[in-house]
Amino acid sequence: MELSRDKPRPKPHITGYCVYEKSKNREIKNPKQIKLKNGRPAIKGTCAICGKAIFRIGKMK
């Protein structure tokens, strides 16, 4: 079985904690990999439900 290289793979659903709604496991829309001042990786994006900024420490998998 051969994988098609023409079709883009679906992005994994990345979740985080929404401070505005105070709820866990909200999907992060438009996730971007960033690096903190101390060199640790993080993910920054917007909440899929409320549209506010959401942040998560760790790499994208």
Count of domains in the chain?
1
- What pLDDT score was predicted for residue 32? 93
Query: Please, what are the averages of pLDDT over each run of 10 residues along the chain (61 residues)?
Result: 62 81 88 94 92 90 75
Q: Which two tokens stand for residue 57?
A: 């420490």
Distance CA 47, CA 28 (A): 5
Residue 26 lies in domain: 15-57
